[in-house]
Chain A
């Protein structure tokens, strides 16, 4: 792909000032719109970095849709993908502890590969290391999607070993060990966030939707323009209220499910294919 920019060129995402008025970019997979945006991002960031006390990348990302309107959607990258590749996305299953992430991951794997992701427990922070299962193909009607699915440790802002002792009857030693691993797990989850193409955010439909962890994860994904799908889990329980979750997050698809009984999983799969199988969005590096 050949792009002309007067006096500046961009190599592998880095802006160089030069006498040449053209540059050659090797990444054919990149949407030209993204390419132009990336250029503008680097360019403008350089120019006004010290003048504006705001994050220029955020401005450009939020403006991306406007640029899209200006330049039009490119056919090239989707053509390339159709010729060379299958649809493939790495999806992280995220959420606070104990909302049913692993239960859901196990269900997805059971339905499509017969495999198992990990152990499930009523004691929070059961998953303390992320697990990735590759090439899970899910299908719905005529469409399908290959995914790498990552089951992540629940994210929390606090970990108290005494809770494991007093509420769940673990020994002091077990509790301390679990707490230590739990803090490391949260860090690992946050690191993985950089490496996923989309997120299946699991929430407990019996609980308050605006918890800080939910707000933080959603804000993070929105800022980076990553696709997200909210699974309102545990709707088999009497006091669940998926409608509350739906009205709390009207800007995202919210699918009520029960990972435990499998209720509504068909619906979940079809929205997953639709949401995550779309043309891969621009990712911030």
Chain B
């Protein structure tokens, strides 16, 4: 399976805000999990809210299969804090971009408050 992945190349999908906004939370998480379980790496223009992240971790745990799916790697940034005026106006800032992929493929190299560096290494588990 690993060999096949390497031969066929690895799919990296950039998922637009528009696409993500079509879904409700549940559909969005299902979409992400389906894609990641197929071995794809996703870069989401809008990341997930903390509640969605939590739910995604829970759903991932339910899906883990010994030899085929060991979980996800996910790195993103928290929501930006709205200013006082924005709060009054009811403007809610969306979480920022996020990268999600299968844990046996996607590896975080480093992450600071401005940049996330990842590597895709086929067939290398945790």
Question: Taking beta carbons and an 8 Å cutoff, which residues of A are in contact with B?
Answer: 52-55, 58-59, 62-63, 66, 155-163, 176, 179, 183-184, 186-187, 190, 193, 208, 210-213, 215-220, 222-223, 248
Contact = CB atoms under 8 A, between A and B. Distances in A.
B87 A62 contact: yes
Secondary structure dominating the interface of B: mixed
B112 to A, nearest CB: 7
A9 B126 CA distance: 54
B114 to A, nearest CB: 11
Contacts of B62: 183, 187
Contacts of A183: 61-62, 64
A167 B72 CA distance: 20
A172 to B, nearest CB: 10
A158 B71 contact: yes
Contact of A212 (B21, B74, B87, B126): B74
B53 interface: yes
A213 B126 CA distance: 16
Given A58-B92, A157-B60, A210-B112, A176 B66 contact: yes
Secondary structure dominating the interface of A: helix
Given A158-B103, A216-B50, A187 B66 contact: no
A220 B48 CA distance: 11
CB-based closest 9 A-B pairs: A158-B71, A219-B50, A158-B103, A183-B61, A160-B126, A160-B70, A216-B53, A220-B50, A54-B92
Nearest to B74: A212
A211 B78 CA distance: 11
B75 A223 contact: no
Given A183-B61, A210-B113, A160 B71 contact: yes
Given A159-B70, A160-B71, 19 more contacts: A55-B49, A58-B49, A59-B90, A62-B87, A157-B72, A158-B64, A158-B71, A159-B61, A159-B71, A160-B104, A160-B125, A160-B126, A162-B125, A179-B66, A186-B57, A187-B62, A212-B75, A220-B53, A223-B49
Given A210-B112, A212-B75, A159 B64 contact: yes
B4 interface: no
14 contacts: A53-B21, A54-B92, A58-B92, A62-B82, A160-B103, A163-B125, A176-B66, A183-B64, A186-B57, A212-B75, A212-B76, A213-B57, A222-B50, A223-B51
A216 B75 CA distance: 10
A222 to B, nearest CB: 7
Contacts of B75: 212
Contacts of A161: 66
Contacts of A54: 92
Nearest to B59: A187
A63 B125 contact: no
Contact of A184 (B50, B61, B76): B61
B91 to A, nearest CB: 9
B5 interface: no
